[in-house]
Amino acid sequence: MTMGMYRLLGVDVREESQTEEALSAAGLDWAAPTLILSEVVLTYMETQRSDAVIGWAAKRLPQSLFVMYEQICPDDPFGRVMQDHFLKLNSTLHALQQYPDLSAQRQRFLDKGWERCVCVDMNAFYLGLVPQEERDRIETLEPFDEYEEWHQKCSHYFILTASRGALMEQALLIPSVSPSWGSTQLKASTVPVCLEGLGLASTWMRLEGLLLTGGSSRGGRVTQRAALSHSYPPSKRRRSGGVRRTLLTTPTQLRPV
Ligand SMILES: C[S@@+](CC[C@H](N)C(=O)[O-])C[C@H]1O[C@@H](n2cnc3c(N)ncnc32)[C@H](O)[C@@H]1O
């Protein structure tokens, strides 16, 4: 399809010579500064083939910026559900087996001929690259309280920028601040409470503690935090002193600052 300066080509990018021919025929100036944007495309190919595309682009485009958005972290519960979802759609996510995290993706591009590469997950992108005013605007569009799911999703997607040539180096996406995920002191006191919840997320904090966040109960969403006590099973009593504390927090308390 051709519309003025815009050319839309249908081509299997795994076929290197056909892709080169199609781009040349469409008038691509290989030496001109070029943006390559790949939003969840390469991961659908066998990894050897997507590696070849990344290497081919580095070789053929000496002034270019590769921007890629894809999935990472395949091996935690969220990652497994994410993979199953794409598997059911018959579009397996290939790349995250060989490149499961940010540093592996970054190294992949450097190994394939890209001079510089920055790879951040979408939490770092949102907090370190989207301006505060824009975040304020988005966050007041409508009420939103699914922060756990939002941050979990964002930790499983990344945006990578890789450059060739000094000109394009300036366009690398480097976060101004890195979000801090350091431990947060939670104030909690023991209260007699009966816990009933649905869809709570849980994380072991320490030997004696379980952090529960989010979820809801018959009374609606949990809006306050509390600490629960109950007895450990006899096998664990000696180590814990017989009491396990369970902390409940509001989702907003987990938001990174
Ligand atoms: C998740 S969609 C991405 C859509 C794209 N970001 C957009 O906004 O149109 C995945 C795309 O990858 C394309 N794709 C998958 N394998 C490809 C290949 N070997 N060559 C070219 N495109 C491919 C599919 O045609 C599909 O359009």
pLDDT of 152 reads: 93
pLDDT of 227 reads: 43
CB neighbour list of residue 14: distance below 8 Å, 6 or more residues apart: 45, 49, 52, 53
Closest CA to 165 of 255, 31, 46: 31
CB neighbour list of residue 13: distance below 8 Å, 6 or more residues apart: 19, 41, 53
CA of 6 to the centre of ligand 1 (A): 18
- Kindly list the protein residues whose Cβ atom lies closer than 6 A to any atom of ligand 1: 12-14, 39-41, 44-45
Atom index in ligand 1 nearest the CA of residue 37 equals: 6
Spatial distance between the Cα atoms of 220 and 108, rounded to a whole number of angstroms? 46
The answer to whether residues 216 and 199 touch, using CB atoms and an 8 Å cutoff, is yes
Q: Any idea where the domains of the chain sit in the sequence?
A: 30-169, 201-249
Atom index in ligand 1 nearest the CA of residue 13 equals: 20
pTM above 0.85, yes or no: no
The CATH superfamily assigned to 30-169 is Vaccinia Virus protein VP39 (3.40.50.150)
Give Cα 149 distance to the centre of its chain: 12
Closest CA to 103 of 27, 158, 184: 158
pLDDT of 226 reads: 47
pLDDT of 61 reads: 98
CA of 41 to the centre of ligand 1 (A): 5
CA of 12 to the centre of ligand 1 (A): 9
Spatial distance between the Cα atoms of 61 and 59, rounded to a whole number of angstroms? 6
Q: Nearest residue CA, atom 19 of ligand 1?
A: 12
pLDDT of 115 reads: 98
Copy the structure tokens of residue 109.
């591009």
List, for residues 1-28, the tens digit of each pLDDT value: 889 889 999 999 999 999 999 999 999 9
Residue of 41, 49, 71, 86 to mutate, ligand 1, most atoms within 8 A of C-beta: 41
Q: Which residues of the chain have pLDDT under 50?
A: 225-257
Where does residue 184 rank: exposed (0-12), middle (13-18), buried (19+ CB within 10 A)? Answer: exposed
Q: Which residues pair with 213 in a beta bridge?
A: 201, 249
CB neighbour list of residue 249: distance below 8 Å, 6 or more residues apart: 186, 211, 212, 213, 225
Supply φ then ψ for residue 13, to 5 degrees: -70, -10
